Every structure is written in C-alpha cells, then in structure tokens.
Amino acid sequence: MSYTAACEHGKDVEQMTAEVRAINIEKGWRVPSGGPGGNTFGDYIALLHSEASEALEAYRDHRLADARARTASPKAWAASWPTS
C-alpha cells in the first residue's frame, strides 16, 4: 500500500519514512542493510535511555517552549519564560 497524501511540510509518508530511516542509520539505531546488525537488545536500551535523558534535559531547560530560535544560553533563555 502506498500513501501519497502530503502533510503540512509538503512531504508524503514515503519521503518522511526515507528521511527517518536515514537519520536512524546515521545515529546508530539501525544498519543500512536493515535488521539489528551487530547491536544487541542492551545496545538499543542504552540508545533509548540516552535519547530519553536528552529529552528530559531539554524539557528541564526549556519546558515546552520552542528552543529552535534561542539566541542566549539555554539556562538564560529558559529563565526568560514564565513558569506557569
């Protein structure tokens, strides 16, 4: 089955899938040939833990604000946002 409806970013599902696959290969989540390659279950748990820790750190620094446009240090930038 092929999904060709474009999302708000102008990419269809197949394009987004290819992009995610390329990022996963680049970051070590999968090998180019597919499958787990030489990674063990423990390797994937370690990768997941690392990503979750980074997400928690970003949340602590920025809460739910958009951090892509910041110009100051993360701590100074986060301090400028209301806490409630």
In angstroms, rounded to a whole number, what is the distance separating the alpha carbons of residues 29 and 27?
Answer: 6
Task: Concatenate the DSSP letters of all residues of 51-81 into one string.
Answer: HHHHHHHHHHHHTTS-GGG--S-HHHHHHTS
Q: What pLDDT shows up at residue 64?
A: 76
| pLDDT in the model for residue 21 | 92
Tokens coding 50: 């690392």
**Would you write out the chain's pLDDT as a tens digit for each of its 84 residues?**
455 555 666 888 999 999 999 998 898 888 888 877 888 889 889 989 999 999 999 888 888 777 666 556 666 656 666 665
Domain range summary for the chain, segments of one domain joined by +: 1-38, 40-84
Residue carrying the six token digits 């809460």? 63
Please tell me the total number of residues recorded for the chain in this structure.
84
Burial of 62 (0-12, 13-18, 19+ CB in 10 A): middle
